[in-house]
A and B are shown apart, each in its own frame.
Chain A
């Protein structure tokens, strides 16, 4: 059971890292590839074939899949606060790679959001207790 808990912890950390990094770089590359405006519905599609945008979309697909995989064993109340570090990393990426000016107001707003996300999750109802470290004893639910 200890080995099972350790296996789950390592798997969770690897998956959470993939979730956060694919989100940050997916958003960064998508922003980099976006044209100045999208006048017609068709322009949304053609914009996706710009190299930067395509790379961004590929990473965001990876984000979606890795997040779904993580949610299949970890609770949303664990996933939300852990991945909310992405808000800080996205801002840092915007500053470093897109030269966005981020003032004290925006930084404090981002930190408030991370704190808020952590609180929302900390206050989640107790029926989600079966998560990390307990799922060794927890039989998988039967599909409906």
Chain B
């Protein structure tokens, strides 16, 4: 149960974050924090398909996270979801065809070791 929840959270969060970064990058810097301008920015973003996809993925991730919180301690649940960084690195290499440096693999490996330690 615990690890199924973590798997769903990691998958959905990774998809959501990639979509969110793409969507916000397309939108450009938010400079105006007055309520009207924020409302207009929100209205524009609500029609951005990357942002919509990211919100759906985040919602899936959130309900799985609720389920995880009922069975796990907070100080386990939050670090365990860091497996996201590992999946993102793998996706960057094999789906986005990015060049992933040795340093980045080392970082992902550290995260895995950290999650293993946290779950012991």
The range of chain B's interface size is 35 or more
Determine which of A64, A113, A140 lies in contact with B82 in the assembled complex, contact meaning CB atoms within 8 Å.
A113
Q: Which residues of B contact A37 (CB under 8 A)?
A: 70-71
Interface string of B7-44 (1 = CB under 8 A from A): 00000000000001100111111100000000000000
Q: Are B78 and A123 in contact (CB under 8 A)?
A: no
Determine which of B30, B66, B73 lies in contact with A44 in the assembled complex, contact meaning CB atoms within 8 Å.
B66
For this complex, 26 residue pairs linking A to B, each with C-beta atoms less than 8 Å apart, are A44-B67, A47-B66, A71-B21, A72-B28, A73-B29, A86-B78, A87-B82, A95-B75, A100-B74, A100-B75, A106-B76, A106-B118, A112-B110, A113-B111, A113-B115, A116-B85, A116-B110, A116-B112, A120-B104, A120-B108, A123-B101, A123-B103, A125-B98, A141-B25, A141-B26, A143-B27
Q: Does A144 contact B (CB under 8 A)?
A: yes
Q: Which residues of A contact B101 (CB under 8 A)?
A: 123
Known: A87-B78, A115-B107, A116-B114. 13 other contacts (CB 8 A): A30-B66, A60-B62, A72-B28, A90-B75, A91-B75, A94-B73, A100-B73, A100-B74, A109-B114, A109-B118, A116-B112, A123-B106, A143-B28
Q: Are A27 and B24 in contact (CB under 8 A)?
A: no
Smallest beta-carbon distance B61→chain A, Å: 11
A residues contacting the other copy or chain, number (CB 8 A):
55
Q: Which residues of B contact A87 (CB under 8 A)?
A: 78-79, 82
> Roughly how many angstroms separate A112 CA and B78 CA in the complex, as a whole number?
14
Q: Which residues of B contact A85 (CB under 8 A)?
A: none
Contact of A93 with B118 at beta-carbon distance under 8 Å, contacts A110-B79, A116-B111, A122-B103 already known: no
